[in-house]
Amino acid sequence: MAGGALVMVALSSAAQDTPPAAPSPTGAGPDSARRPKVGLVLGGGGARGAAHIGVLEALENLRVPVDCVAGTSMGALVAGAWVAGISPAQMREELARADWADMFQDNPDYAELNHRNKRLSQRFLPGSETGLTAGGAVTPPGVVSAQKIKLFFNRLVRADAGERRIEELPLPVSIIATDIGTGARVVLREGSLTQAMRASMSVPGLLAPLELEGRKLVDGGLTDNLPVREVRERCGAEVVIAVNVGTTPLKPEEVRGLLTVSAQVIALLTEQNVQATIATLTPRDIVIQPDLGSIGAADFERHADAALRGRIAADASAARLKALAVGEAAWMRWRQGLAVGLPDPTRSRPRIHEVQVVGLSRVSEAVVRRYLAQAVGEPLDTKALDQALGRVYGDGWYERVDYAVLREGERNVLRVMPVEKGWGPDYLRLGLRLDSNLSQGSSYLLRAGYHRTWMVPMGAEMLVVGELGSSTGASVEWLQPLTADREWFADLMAEYRRERSDYFFLEQRVAEYRSVRYRFEATGGYNLSLVGTLRAGWRQTRVSRELETGIDILAAVPERGSGGWLLAADLDRLDRLYFPRSGWSAAAEWYHGHTGGDGSDYTRTSLDLRGAAPWRDYVLGSRFTWVGSPTGRLPIHDSGRLGGFLNLTAFASGQLIGDDVAYAHVRGERIIGRLPLGLRGDMRLGLAVESGKIAKPYTVQKRNGWLHSLAVYLGGETPLGPVYLGVGYGSGGSTNAYLFIGTP
């Protein structure tokens, strides 16, 4: 051992004057006659793999070149980026710039969704989508499809300046994945570098597998988390530098639930193959195992800490690593070789001569192109492209949307590659609501929707919804785009609803009715890009009610329904559907109802304005609404209503009804926590000051004029929709408390 080390030092010293050959596109490494061939192995471990960056920093500081590299999972990401010419310092910068919480959310911000999907997300639980195919029900293959993660890989290795292919890199690099269909170990030595990275990081159940050449590829850690064998086979490595960052399996008492069981299965599989690999190492090989302590596989925000610990661990092996070092001139020659083919960041982006959209079978190409702003003949705008692809993905018809910049002679071609969902185009969607308050007790609702998309080439959709619970209902809607880009559309909707209506006298609940409503709408409209829609059309409503309990205080007030023309605008630029942090929304509607020629025709006008703005760890919000009848008198079924959470919180839901109804509130919310990685939203403690007035009340109250309420609540947006617990105190000592979970 000692003699061998002395020989190695002597050889290293001799190499000071004769630098090794720089890496070449064919994979030639340093001169093997003067130093042993060195293979670098970067193991998998999720976020713990950021420690590899610190190891690379130590290798560069010591001037240790290598002949080939192999990586798995996060190790594949770091290995691929390094061989592609990205320095450890640049990797640190990119990891620090990344918004990891957002990266594990495939969809863009709510504000970037089209209006149709905004309204679908309002009615159905996120993540409840199930495909309905000829073979039966099919769920998505992963919680996350890694749409944003893949675009991050593109930026990291500068694929926006040209497709980076593994076989064209200046140093042999191998990326390990697993065929989830056969369980076979898969070694990727050629093809798209970023696709290989994406495949190797596909943790089963969390990230969807990547389909590549007929195989479904997932995390390589399942079969080879520390691919030492690969560098021995690939370049004949005589000395292996193996960096192990794998997660230690949990103790038996720590395995308590479904998530920990899944994590434990993966940890056990990877640990078994790691230990088997370590057993094959020789005394000449160097194992670096950073002490990563409590840093977990999902703790991406701790990347800087992990990198530091990797540097410390590598420095601890510096004495052995120095035996593999070369002189300054030799090192610079080798390091510059890695930059061969790396786009020059000081130069402008490639000028795009053609934009292609490929891979579609159902979806119209025009629907994709409506978001693409890249002008032919102009340099590529990567930021705008990433935003555009996020919007394309947000339409909801794709497993993923990627791009490549290809060189065809003297021309640069931007190829956009959407992959349509394998479990579409028909879906089952679910909704759930649990609601309890002191004034009216508890209620629940189960909602299921059958959603058919792209029924004809123009993209017609049909949505059939059924609801069961404290209220029941059913509806069917047919949406027909009238232009290829879906800007103009026609919409037909028929609805049946049976629900409870409470009526109050002197703020006491004195009657409960069961109302039945039939409604039909035929409208045409225009989509204002991502801002919202304008509609015009006809609405026909038929209403009846039946007393369930109490005094029939509405016996003398008939419900006849109405029919008439309507105009509506629905604009929404909030960044969240519930509990927004920034943005605004505005909804306005004008409806002229004909009730049968008895002089009771009316015009109903409504306005709803909302806004939110962040300030440090707070969110400031406001809302203003008005409902009134410029002509005639609003019927009870179409009247304005106050009461309920953040609608005069101290009063029961719908307690105050009438015509000419105004409401406003301002609120402040303190962000007290954020949901774990992969979930969007935060938890807040809020305070709202509210005021409302019914100028023409239909129920007798103890007080008239402006009514006030103060609300205190704890809530946030969760995978189950909005969740909040709140209390309200208002004018005259009115109080109420609310617990809500689900979709409104």
pLDDT tens profile 389-439: 999 999 999 999 999 999 898 899 999 999 999 999 999 999 999 999 888
CB 434 within 8 A of CB 132: no
* Residue type at 672 in one-letter notation: I
Q: Which two tokens stand for residue 285?
A: 């090989």
Task: With H, G, I as helix, E, B as strand and everything else as coil, classify residue 405.
Answer: strand
CB 569 within 8 A of CB 586: yes
Residue 59's pLDDT is: 96
How far, in Å, CA of 78 to CA of 482, rounded? Answer: 48
Task: With H, G, I as helix, E, B as strand and everything else as coil, classify residue 391.
Answer: helix
CB 342 within 8 A of CB 157: no
User: First vs last Cα of the chain: how many Å apart?
Assistant: 71
Residue 325 Cα distances to 62, 83, 242, 244, 400, angstroms? 6, 18, 16, 21, 43
How far, in Å, CA of 696 to CA of 660, rounded? Answer: 6
How far, in Å, CA of 122 to CA of 251, rounded? Answer: 41
Q: Tokens 């109302």 appear where? A: 515
Check residue 697 and give left, alpha or beta (phi > 0: left; psi -120 to 50: alpha): beta
CB 29 within 8 A of CB 22: no
Cis check for the bond before 425: say yes or no (omega within 30 of 0).
yes
How far, in Å, CA of 384 to CA of 359, rounded? Answer: 22
* Residue type at 219 in one-letter notation: D
How far, in Å, CA of 402 to CA of 219, rounded? Answer: 20
Pairing of strands 426-437, 411-420: unpaired
Residue 179's pLDDT is: 95
Q: Tokens 């610990």 appear where? A: 309
> 267-295 as b/e, with b when 16 or more CB fall inside 10 Å?
bebbbebbeebeeeeeeebbbbbbebeeb
CB 53 within 8 A of CB 91: yes
How far, in Å, CA of 480 to CA of 156, rounded? Answer: 41
The H or E element containing residue 188 is strand 185-188
| Low-confidence stretches of the chain (pLDDT beneath 50) | 1-22, 24-33, 346
Check residue 286 and give left, alpha or beta (phi > 0: left; psi -120 to 50: alpha): beta
| Dihedral Cα 379, 381, 382, 387, nearest 10 deg | -150
Phi then psi dihedrals of residue 482, to 5 deg: -105, -10
Backbone CA torsion sign across 480, 486, 488, 493: positive
pLDDT in tens, 674-688: 877 666 678 999 999
Q: Tokens 């597998």 appear where? A: 209
How far, in Å, CA of 660 to CA of 695, rounded? Answer: 5
Altogether, the residues listed in the chain come to a count of: 744
How far, in Å, CA of 497 to CA of 610, rounded? Answer: 28
